Amino acid sequence: MSTRLGSVATAGLITVIALGLYTFRITAQPPSADEIVMQRQAQSLWLTGHDLAGRQTPLLLQVDEDHWQQPVPVYAVALMSALAPADMASRLASAVFGAMSVGLLYLLVSRLYADRWTPLAAALLFATTPAQVVHTRTGVDAIYVLPFVIFWLIGVREWLSSRSLAPLLAGVFALGVGVFTQPAAPLTMAFLLTVSLAALWRSGWGDMRSFAAVIAAFATPVSAVAVWFALFPDTYRDTFGRWAIHAAHLRFPLDGIRSLVNWTSLGSRTSIYWGSFDPAWLFLDGPPMPGDVLHGTAPFLFGTAILSVLGIAQLLRSGSPPWVLTLLAGAAVTPLAASTFGVPNAIGSLLPLMLFVVLFAAEGIARSQATLSLVTRITVGTLCAVMLVEFAAFYGSLVTR
């Protein structure tokens, strides 16, 4: 069996194991209000072909007067309704996307490192990250963005390895499709597109035709929403007008620039942005806050902090410049979209950041495997064991809550 085929088979097995982890006692807790809305919308689509507002197979789905949903999660839940009871479909669909993300991450890391253990350790770390586990077991739209971002990262890495533009175009196309996964996705994917263009420039392999092809690959799936707004212009205000660019700022761009540099809004968004990198929030448990889906649990296991710092240090010393730029810039821009919504520590909008932190940690794990220092290997091994214990305590509390 070839190495690549073996990696795919291992990724499939990891996906199945992760799916079992995410679906164990998945219906123990009653559905939230957002899950109920998702289930109602998906059931309406599955049974009638119309959303709750009566539109037939719409691109954007209306719940009530000013509440809209992105299509990927709703249509995924509608398809899951054919295989599972209606009250389980939304959580099962999230679990499938979450487990698929774990398998894709394994494939990505297996392309980065030649050893056997780093990809397995990275997949295990990602699968057991509390933010990943909680959102995968919750039937809302937050988790759906992750496979598209990972597919983009795979495309970037394959492009850097082969110098063929096709993988990068496929990855950027995935970003365009990912625009339709959750409210923060339009801005998040647009920012990651700029990272792709920056990496293309930094590589020195791009010409004007290459830049145009990358932009076109992203624009191709996104053009569907342009057609939608041409047919239903009144829907822009409460959808992309809230999630991306305000309708008034499209008409008067200077007003949009003034709103961005307004000291009050700029200060608020900057505070939210930097708060997304607060180590105390990311890695240390705290008291549960109102609306906190993690109930006070830190988004990451504590040991991830140490491993990611080791990984960042190693990347800065010896990494491929375009790949290092992709990871560091990707981590830097993903909280930008979340900061525009004005809600601090909104982990549901920050899930792509989780991918970059895990990749930094994977670099730290690989570094410990490559070093000749027995002390370093024992330290990292002990850290991983402690994280497994930490996860076991968190998961036991979660499934019996």
Per-residue pLDDT at 137: 93
Rounded distance, CA 171 to CA 149, Å? 8
pLDDT digits (tens, 9 = 90+) for 22-80: 999 998 888 888 899 899 999 989 889 888 888 888 999 988 777 899 999 999 999 99
Give the confidence band of 85 by pLDDT, cuts at 50, 70, 90: confident
310-331 mean pLDDT:
89
Is the pTM value of this prediction over 0.85?
A: yes
Say which residue, 324 or 4, is predicted with more confidence: 324
Please tell me the number of Cα atoms within 13 Å of 203 on its side-chain side. 24
- Comparing 186-200, 265-279, 311-325, 365-379, the range with the smallest average pLDDT is 365-379
pLDDT digits (tens, 9 = 90+) for 166-180: 999 999 999 999 999
Q: Average per-residue pLDDT in the chain? A: 89
pLDDT digits (tens, 9 = 90+) for 352-397: 999 999 999 999 888 877 665 777 777 777 888 888 899 999 999 8
Most confident segment among 82-91, 195-204, 286-295: 195-204
Please report, rounded to a whole number, the percentage of residues in the chain having pLDDT higher than 70. 93
Do the Cβ atoms of 2 and 98 come closer than 8 Å?
Answer: no
Q: Is the pLDDT of residue 249 over 80?
A: no
66 burial via Cβ count (<10 Å: 0-12, 13-18, 19+): exposed
Task: List beta partners, residue 69.
Answer: 61
Please tell me the number of Cα atoms within 13 Å of 128 on its side-chain side. 23
- Comparing 113-127, 216-230, 336-350, the range with the smallest average pLDDT is 336-350
DSSP string, 161-208: HH--HHHHHHHHHHHHHHTTSSTTHHHHHHHHHHHHHHHHHHHT---H
Mapped to the 3 state alphabet, what secondary structure does 101-157 carry? HHHHHHHHHHHHCCCCHHHHHHHHHHHCCHHHHHHHCCCCCHHHHHHHHHHHHHHHH
Q: Is the pLDDT of residue 209 over 80?
A: yes
Per-residue pLDDT at 131: 95
Q: Is the pLDDT of residue 334 over 90?
A: yes
Runs of H (alpha helix) within 232-350:
240-243, 247-251, 253-261, 263-275, 279-283, 303-318, 321-339
Rounded distance, CA 381 to CA 126, Å? 17
Please report, rounded to a whole number, the percentage of residues in the chain having pLDDT higher than 90. 56
Rounded distance, CA 102 to CA 395, Å? 17
- Comparing 81-85, 95-99, 118-122, 351-355, the range with the smallest average pLDDT is 81-85
Question: What backbone torsions phi and psi does residue 147 show, to the nearest 5 degrees?
Answer: -60, -35
Write the CA distances from 69 to 10, 141, 238, 239, 359, integer angstroms: 34, 9, 10, 8, 30
238-254 mean pLDDT:
76
Say which residue, 317 or 333, is predicted with more confidence: 333
Question: Could you report how far apart the first and last alpha carbons of the chain are, in Å?
Answer: 44
